[in-house]
Amino acid sequence: MGASAILIGEIGSGNIAKLANQIMVALHLAAMSEAMVFAEKAGVDSEKVFRAIRGGLAGSTVLDAKMPLILERNFKPGGPIRMHTKDLLNVRDTALAIDAPIPLTTQVMEFMKALKADGKQEHDHGGIIQYWEKLAHVEVKRK
C-alpha cells in the first residue's frame, strides 16, 4: 500500500485513475526513448543528455527510474511490456466506450505490440527504447 490513499470518486473511478497513470507512464517512456535515440543518433552522449535534463522541466520519476537501467542495457522486467500493453488495451476499450480520443496512447501501444512481436514482451517497459533504436540503427548505452 502507498503512503497515502485518495478517494477518487464513485466505484470505477480508481480504475480510471490507474489507466490514466498507465497512459502517462507509456507516453513518458516513449518521449524519453525518442529523445535519447535522437541524441545518440546526433552523436551526443545520451547519458550526459540525461544528466543535463533530469533536473529541468523534462525531468520525471520515469526518467530517473528507467534511464540508468537503459544505459546499463538492463531490461529485466519491473513492469513487463506484455503487462503494459494489456493495460493500454484496457485504456483503448474504455476510451472507445466513453468516446475519448487517445491518439498518442494508441501509437505507443502499437510500438509495444511491435516489441512483443519481436520477442521482447518480457522486457521491462523501459525497453520500449529498443523500438526507436531499431529504426535509427543506434543503441543507447553507457559509454
Q: CA 82 → CA 69, 78, 95, 105, distances in Å? A: 18, 11, 20, 15
Distance from C-alpha of 48 to C-alpha of 100, rounded to nearest angstrom: 38
Catalytic residue among 18, 41, 113, 116: 18
The answer to whether the CB of 118 falls within 8 A of the CB of 75 is no
The answer to whether the CB of 30 falls within 8 A of the CB of 128 is yes
120 is catalytic: no
The owner of cell 502499437 is 110
Provide the annotated active-site residues: 18
